[in-house]
Amino acid sequence: MRYTSMLVPLLCVTAAPTSATAQARIEALEPDASSFRVERLASFIAEPADTGMELLPGDLLTGSASGTALELNCPAGSNNSYRLEGPFRMLIDAPREGVCHVNLLGGGVDVLAESGTSVTAGGVEMGSVTTQYAVRLEGSGAAATPKLIVYDGAVVVSTVQGRKLPLGAGLALRLDRAGPTSEPQAVAPEEYRRSAAIYSRLDIAKASKAGAQISDSTAVMNQFTTLHAEVLKNPADTAKRAELARYQIQYKINNEALYNLRRVDLTTEQKLQRYDIDPATLQRGLTQANRDLYIARVRPDAFKAAAVSTTDTDLELIAAGKVDEALKSLLARAEAGTATSRDYYALSKAYLELKDVRLSAAYGERALKLNAEDGKLSEAEQREQREVLARIRG
């Protein structure tokens, strides 16, 4: 049965979504779709989950079998990766102030983030920016409590009393709604290995889909696991990140390689070549959104040349009803840190078209604030943006 005594209180604190905008997308799974199901909020009908499937707020994702793994990106199209090991149950929730939010109802999730993330597990909310961490639910049903494991960066825990408790890299902490139930402990060796194995299974699934030749899958799996474990233990070690990235490029999973390279600021062609990474080979294997990020971070001069009148083009796409197409480039520039006030103005218009007033307001406010610095908005655009914000607020 879908609604359990644990699920009801978690759902009642979240407003219903105002549109059918995809919140998350399944990027990879292993071994196949038969082990995973999605129960749609709109219909309460379960259907097989598969790569490319988009998930809406309120959808329930389940994995029934041990030894399976699934990866989704949330928000859809972003570089924030949520990696789940079966068996698990996860509810896709409405975003919190523009940040993807999920409820882990059973099992565990590993998160690799380049922007904000938010996870609730056992009634405890955890949030982060640009981190690698894992959350495991220990116990079952309403008695389940989360264990938070931070590999890179920091994660902030929000308690029911309103306290904010940060946990840094290399530490693990058991929690309940009131806060920690133990002192922080060093991450145990088995946790590094467990997360590394989840990453590796999904790396191989994506490599196979990309057409990489894998003659000995066990040997490749073992090598990926070793490299991932070393990075998780030493997240700031440039050489270890670069070694993992080279192996990922070898097996045609360049988007994952780019994540590791950015985490240690290997963002120029000279730096990449110093670690025997060919920039052209890296770029060829990227998705379009990540290729934009690559150019912005690794070749900023080329990015600036390519970006001339880009916002006008995106605004034209929005006016023509091609919002998803416009969002790809607009969000890529926002993630790269190169967005102007007009880009945020365009993002506000895009999400207004999608009837997501919360995100529209957030990007609109950002547009007006940034315009005070860069002056990119015309008087008419500033006036329009203020009128939109006034209507949204009420």
**pLDDT of 183-193, one tens digit each?**
999 999 999 99
Q: Which of 303, 333, 356 is the last residue of a domain?
A: 303
Domain presence at residue 2: no
Pairing mode of beta strands 100-112, 116-121: parallel
**Highest mean predicted confidence (pLDDT) among 52-56, 193-197, 346-350:** 193-197
Q: The domain that contains 387 carries what CATH number?
A: 1.25.40
CATH assignment of the domain containing 17 = 2.60.120.1440
**272 and 205 assigned to the same domain:** yes
Task: Give backbone dihedrals phi and psi of 393, rounded to 5 degrees, phi first.
Answer: -75, -20
pLDDT for the residue 58 = 94
Pick 174 or 22 by higher pLDDT: 174
Alpha-carbon dihedral 42, 46, 50, 55, rounded to 10 degrees: 20
> Is 177 part of any domain?
yes
Among 303, 330, 364, identify where a domain stops: 303
Does 270 have pLDDT greater than 70? yes
User: Once rounded to an integer, what is the mean pLDDT over residues 177-188?
Assistant: 91
Domain span at residue 341 reads: 307-393
Do 230 and 177 share a structural domain?
no
Q: Give the list of residues 6+ apart from residue 190 with CB closer than 8 angstroms, or none.
A: none
Number of neighbouring beta carbons within 10 Å of residue 373: 9
- My answer on whether 281 and 171 are in the same domain is no
In 10 A of CB 149, how many CB atoms?
26
Instruction: Check whether residue 35 and residue 163 sit in a common domain.
Output: yes
What is the arithmetic mean of pLDDT over 150-171?
A: 90
180 and 237 share one domain = no
Same domain, 37 and 127: yes
Q: At what angle do helices 288-298 and 254-263 cross, to 10 degrees?
A: 30
From residue 351, alpha-carbon distances to 59, 318, 324 in Å are 21, 10, 10
Of 251, 282, 303, the one marking the end of a domain is: 303
Tell me, yes or no, whether 102 and 242 share the same domain: no
Quick: pLDDT tens for 330-343. Answer: 877 776 667 888 99
Q: How many distinct structural domains can be found in the chain?
A: 3
- In this structure, are 205 and 286 located in the same domain? yes
**Rounded alpha-carbon distances, angstroms, from residue 373 to 301, 381, 382:** 21, 16, 13
Average confidence (pLDDT) over 212-232: 96
The answer as to whether 1 is a domain residue is no
Q: Is 169 found in the same domain as 38?
A: yes
pLDDT of amino acid 161: 82
Looking at the fold, whether 28 and 176 belong to one and the same domain comes out as: yes
**Does one domain contain both 298 and 348?**
no
- 282: buried, middle or exposed (CB in 10 Å: 19+, 13-18, 0-12)? buried
Confidence at residue 132, expressed as pLDDT on a 0 to 100 scale: 95
Q: Is the pLDDT of residue 9 over 70?
A: no
Nearest to 75 by CA among 105, 115, 30: 115
Spatial contact of 136 and 108, defined as CB atoms under 8 Å apart = yes
Q: Note whether 273 and 126 are same-domain residues.
A: no
Percent of the chain with pLDDT over 70: 88
